[in-house]
Structure 1
Amino acid sequence: MRLLTPKQVNIVDQYIESLGLPVSHLMEQAGRSVFEVVHRYIQEIKGPKGVLFLSGIGNNGGDALVAARLLTEVPEVTPYVVVCGNPEEGSPLFQQQWKVVHTLEDTITIVIDEMMQSNRNLIPSHILQNVSLVVDGVFGTGFHGELPKRIRSMFEQCREWRSYSDTRTCIAIDIPSGVNGLTGSADISSFKADETITLLAPKVGMFFYPARQCVGHMSIGSIGYPFPHHALRKSDHNWPELYWNNADSLNVEPRSPIAHKGTNGHVYIVGGSPGIYGAPILSAEGALRSGAGKVTILSGINELDALRSLSRPEMMICDSSDVEQLDGNSTVVIGPGGGRSNSEKKHLLQWIQSVTGNHMVLDADGLIAIASDLLLLKYRAYELGKDDYIIVLTPHLGEFSVLTGKSIEELNKDPIGYANEFAKEHGVYVVLKGQPTILATPFGKIYLTTRGNPYMGTGGMGDVLAGIIGSMLNQDQNPIDAINIAIYAHSRAGDLALDDCGPGFTPTEVAQRIGRVLRTIEGCNQIQPL
């Protein structure tokens, strides 16, 4: 699913307006989408049938007024509208809707500025007692900075009202007020919604914390026009294409009925050093659990006995210096537990230099090694790319800081921008792990995965992911699909592990649930016809 930045929202609006479609029509459709969600809640409510709309004087407020007007046609429902600002200073679209709503004061209770000021800028308590839903239409996607003091007071009042009963609901239009639609930063008093009806497409900031804590359940509302992909492609702005990597967007290529271990891909894992033998074992586990035909761990001769004692019987363990040629249809995962001494870095760099005719995944110590020679990374991506093989980097923020030379604090200000820039400059795929996990491609497409949970923040979890990516790259997927499936399967398996085991689950327990996730993805259980 496509995502939008606030600037892209403006481009879309301008494009649709240029077609001659009245923008008032778009607001009418958006308001109807809000009405439909509100009506769904109203039908299930056992308490008061009142609905309170907090309306700004911009277009978001206009959407709220449309929904309030439509609710007047529903029996037994009482709409209330609190206008946050002077209606005469509102946007042209807001003023159009205000003229209509203002004629309905017999059926809509309207509270304007003067009445709010006489009530210490708080919502009159008798109104809150008569409603079961509060709908936020104060600010839209263009908001940034801090909320005005009076709006903060109102939102804090709503939060307190909501806390008294589970039958009370808070709904946001497009994006919760107080949330930055680009960065995900949020005012401490931002409106906290149980559901957000985001219009046309989700806004990218809604996927980052702390904004995600304000969004609640997210539904998509129509504006009466399909997503205009071509309008953004034709724009002069060089923003990346942003997508949400969720279950609906994934598809696994069915396997051939005559598939065998040779066709199902061979994952080689280069790593393992004193004290961190578990890392390559966990990568191997991830690869096996996601369907790799064969898995081989390549390590130093002195490490082999320790690795064999920890490995599963399905894992092959070999001396890395004895390997002369790798199998075809394989991926080399370089770095899990590889070590950071000068000799160990040199060994990992030699592997990075030597891989040909295979995909490559750089993880953990492989990332630290290549950070010292980014020109080599760029060159290897170019050389492998000639034959349609790719390099995938899987850093967390600390490792990405080493790769970019930027502090973690700086990276957190614009993780999408930095990941996008690095991927394009070096011709690689960057999987920046976190919440959300960001996949940046060399050609400016960005994918966000929002599954997973904080209990996955434990040593070895990234090793499992690297193995899954290595496995999926061999299974007849195009690279973007392969990586997105791997990220989704890994994060969703973490959620299953939390459900099954509670906090404190292990990376191994996550790997064991990969199959349960994969079978829910379209195509995975199918067999390709001959």
Structure 2
Amino acid sequence: MQVVTSKEMQQLDQYTIETLGMKEELLMENAGRAAAGDIYDMYPEAHTAVIFAGKGNNGGDGFVIGRTLSSLGWNVYVYLLAEEDALSGGALYHKDLYRACGLPLTAGTGVPEPESPEEGIIYIDAMLGTGIHGELKEPFYSAAKWLNSVTAPVVAVDIPTGVPANEEELPGMAVNADATVILEAPTLSTYLYPASHYYGEIRIVPIGVPRASWNALDQKRQTWDLTDAAKSLPERTQESHKGDNGKGLLIAGAYNMPGAPAIASNACLHAGIGLLTTSVPASALSAVASHVLEATYFPLPETEDGQVADLQETPFPWDGMDGVAAGSGLGRTESTRVLTKRLLTETQTPLVLDADGLYFLPELEAEMANREHPLILTPHPGEMGRLTGLSPKEINAERFTVSREYARKFSCYLVLKGPNTIITTPEGRQYVSTSGSSALAKGGSGDALTGIVLAMMLQGPTLEEGVCNAVYAHGLAAEIAIREGISDYSFTASNLIDYLPKALAFIQAQKK
């Protein structure tokens, strides 16, 4: 599923109408019928739709929705928040067709006051679409406020009125929908917070935009969902052996943080890596090894006070590995800085850096820029802020833009963690993972992701797909755990590891 800006959606419509020759009225008919069908299926007990329509294309969709729901046996009422003579184009055509069918319409600029009882009623927001910017003006401000006061379900068409489509700050009043039926493709704000809260349940319906229109659109964003994961998760053959499934080195932990390498290692093993070597401080080795039986170990040298010693000359076994991951629980010491620099300059396989492995990157930008082998960074917004000099709030406001600019600048794969984690490639392609849960907001979740990324990027079929699948499986494991009764309050990274096999099995089952 493609993810677009409001301008890209406008370009898509223009190409379809002006270049391919599909009439605007037909495209609007497709959109309204698709939305109406989804609303009908979503609320099988409903019998009445009250539709708030604007004068633009979103309002035109509303008229089609009303006419279609009427044909399915519903009572429909449309409140047009404009004078009838303000409409033009497809919206005017479908308003006139709606009127010709003898269906009720009230036009004007006041806030409507429907008299119908709320039981069995659905309110539909078809006031303003994805091209609107800035604060709501009257009568839309009062209409949005009114819709937010009702107890019956409110369904937005394409986007809740008042919510910006792009990376913009929420300006103020907006419709807080119970569900949003998105037409053809979601816009950026669908996956940005706090805007995403206003969408409610997200429903995406195709409206028949020709493939030729998508091919003509120069954009590189899409969701990564169960279908994508199932298509790309490699199948294992009977003759495969452990060497076929990746040989990885994980460098993590400190004497007082043995949990990080244990979590990352177990996650890596459960994600299917063939052979794993875990490198931890000597004093933490026994604690980690007692929880991770399947790995081999390479102890890190320590000083007398238990700190990791200077790693400048340590002969790490990364030359024999297919991939390396480092950072979880290492600490922000000089030894970590030395290790990070060596990893960037000496390893000749894909390298994953997370947590403390990211800390010194701002002073190692030359080494990053000159690196010739794949580099995968997995920061949360706070860590991304240190990499860019921006605040976490600024990062979250422009997650797509900041990710793309950084990934292109340093030719790296960037996994910006958070709700709807965004994966960006060195070329600027972006994938939004559709899996996840609030349960992941716990210490250790990022360590688990590091291990999963190390395992799955080595199993392919490409590194890009492996990283996307790692993020998706990580989120899906949390979803399944919550569905099976684990509270998001009590969920831990250990629970995530326990449910990772179920997540992978669920993905595999979709192949059949």
Q: How does the TM-score come out when normalised to structure 2?
A: 0.90
How many aligned positions are there?
494
Amino acid at match of 1:11: Q
How far 1:102 moved relative to its partner? 3.2
- CA shift in 2, pair 1:520/1:305, >3 Å: closer
- CA shift in 2, pair 1:322/1:348, >3 Å: same
Contact 1:185 1:205 in 2 (8 A): no
Amino acid at match of 2:243: G
How far 1:525 moved relative to its partner? 7.9
Amino acid at match of 2:464: I
- CA shift in 2, pair 1:493/1:74, >3 Å: closer
Structure 2 residue matching 1:44: 3-state secondary structure: coil
Q: 1:173 aligns with which of 157, 160, 173?
A: 157
Amino acid at match of 1:172: A
1:319 corresponds to: 299
1:110 aligns with 2:108: no
Q: 2:86 aligns with which of 86, 89, 94?
A: 89
1:20 corresponds to: 21
Matches within 5 A, 1:326-365: 326=318, 328=320, 330-356=322-348, 358-365=349-356
2:385 corresponds to: 401
1:36 aligns with 2:37: yes
How far 1:302 moved relative to its partner? 4.6
How far 1:130 moved relative to its partner? 7.7
1:254 aligns with 2:251: no
1:50 corresponds to: 48
Paired with 2:119 and 2:106, the residues of 1 have a C-alpha distance of: 14
Q: 1:519 aligns with which of 502, 505, 511?
A: 505
How far 1:140 moved relative to its partner? 0.3
Amino acid at match of 2:23: P
Paired with 2:247 and 2:139, the residues of 1 have a C-alpha distance of: 62
How far 1:290 moved relative to its partner? 0.5
Paired with 1:25 and 1:137, the residues of 2 have a C-alpha distance of: 18
1:145 corresponds to: 134
Paired with 2:403 and 2:456, the residues of 1 have a C-alpha distance of: 22
Q: 2:406 aligns with which of 408, 422, 430?
A: 422
- CA shift in 2, pair 1:161/1:328, >3 Å: same
Paired with 1:465 and 1:243, the residues of 2 have a C-alpha distance of: 21
1:165 corresponds to: none
Structure 1 residue matching 2:298: 3-state secondary structure: strand
1:198 corresponds to: 182
1:387 corresponds to: none
1:136 corresponds to: 125
Structure 1 residue matching 2:243: 3-state secondary structure: coil
Matches within 5 A, 1:270-349: 270-308=251-289, 310-320=290-300, 323=315, 325-326=317-318, 328=320, 330-349=322-341
Structure 2 residue matching 1:127: 3-state secondary structure: coil
Paired with 2:139 and 2:42, the residues of 1 have a C-alpha distance of: 28
1:471 corresponds to: 455
Paired with 1:126 and 1:52, the residues of 2 have a C-alpha distance of: 10
Amino acid at match of 1:138: M
Contact 2:457 2:464 in 1 (8 A): no
| 1:384-440 residue CA offsets vs partner (Å, 9 max, x unmatched) | 2xxxxx210000111111111222232222111011011111110000001121101
Structure 2 residue matching 1:202: 3-state secondary structure: coil
Structure 1 residue matching 2:130: 3-state secondary structure: coil
Amino acid at match of 1:352: L
1:161 corresponds to: 150
Paired with 2:363 and 2:170, the residues of 1 have a C-alpha distance of: 37
1:263 aligns with 2:264: no
Structure 1 residue matching 2:460: 3-state secondary structure: coil
Contact 2:221 2:430 in 1 (8 A): yes
Structure 2 residue matching 1:477: 3-state secondary structure: coil
> Bigger shift: 279-288 or 269-278?
269-278
- CA shift in 2, pair 1:224/1:292, >3 Å: closer
| 1:110-130 residue CA offsets vs partner (Å, 9 max, x unmatched) | 22216x3xxxx2x22413558
Contact 2:269 2:276 in 1 (8 A): yes
Amino acid at match of 2:396: N
Paired with 2:427 and 2:200, the residues of 1 have a C-alpha distance of: 32
Paired with 1:40 and 1:346, the residues of 2 have a C-alpha distance of: 59
Q: 1:61 aligns with which of 52, 59, 62?
A: 59
- CA shift in 2, pair 1:38/1:489, >3 Å: closer
Indicate the percent of aligned positions where both proteins have the same amino acid.
Answer: 28
- CA shift in 2, pair 1:406/1:317, >3 Å: same
How far 1:446 moved relative to its partner? 0.5
Q: 1:230 aligns with which of 191, 196, 215?
A: 215
Amino acid at match of 1:246: D
Structure 2 residue matching 1:218: 3-state secondary structure: strand
Amino acid at match of 1:479: L
Amino acid at match of 2:388: T
Q: 1:441 aligns with which of 410, 417, 425?
A: 425
Two-structure CA RMSD over aligned residues (Å): 2.3
- CA shift in 2, pair 1:458/1:324, >3 Å: closer
How far 1:523 moved relative to its partner? 7.1
Amino acid at match of 1:374: E
- CA shift in 2, pair 1:353/1:68, >3 Å: same
Structure 2 residue matching 1:197: 3-state secondary structure: strand
Structure 2 residue matching 1:337: 3-state secondary structure: coil
- CA shift in 2, pair 1:302/1:524, >3 Å: farther
How far 1:323 moved relative to its partner? 4.3
Paired with 2:362 and 2:509, the residues of 1 have a C-alpha distance of: 38
> Bigger shift: 253-262 or 148-157?
148-157
Q: Which runs of 4+ in 1 moved over 6 A?
A: 523-526
> Bigger shift: 469-478 or 182-191?
182-191
How far 1:329 moved relative to its partner? 5.7
Q: 2:223 aligns with which of 217, 238, 244?
A: 244
- CA shift in 2, pair 1:410/1:72, >3 Å: closer
Structure 2 residue matching 1:220: 3-state secondary structure: strand
Amino acid at match of 2:495: E
Paired with 1:525 and 1:112, the residues of 2 have a C-alpha distance of: 51
How far 1:480 moved relative to its partner? 1.6
Query: Which residues of structure 2 form unaligned runs of 5+?
Result: 301-312
Amino acid at match of 2:28: M
Contact 1:179 1:185 in 2 (8 A): no
Paired with 1:323 and 1:265, the residues of 2 have a C-alpha distance of: 21
Paired with 1:305 and 1:130, the residues of 2 have a C-alpha distance of: 63
Amino acid at match of 1:3: V
Amino acid at match of 1:29: N
> Bigger shift: 462-471 or 338-347?
338-347
Paired with 1:97 and 1:125, the residues of 2 have a C-alpha distance of: 22
1:508 aligns with 2:509: no
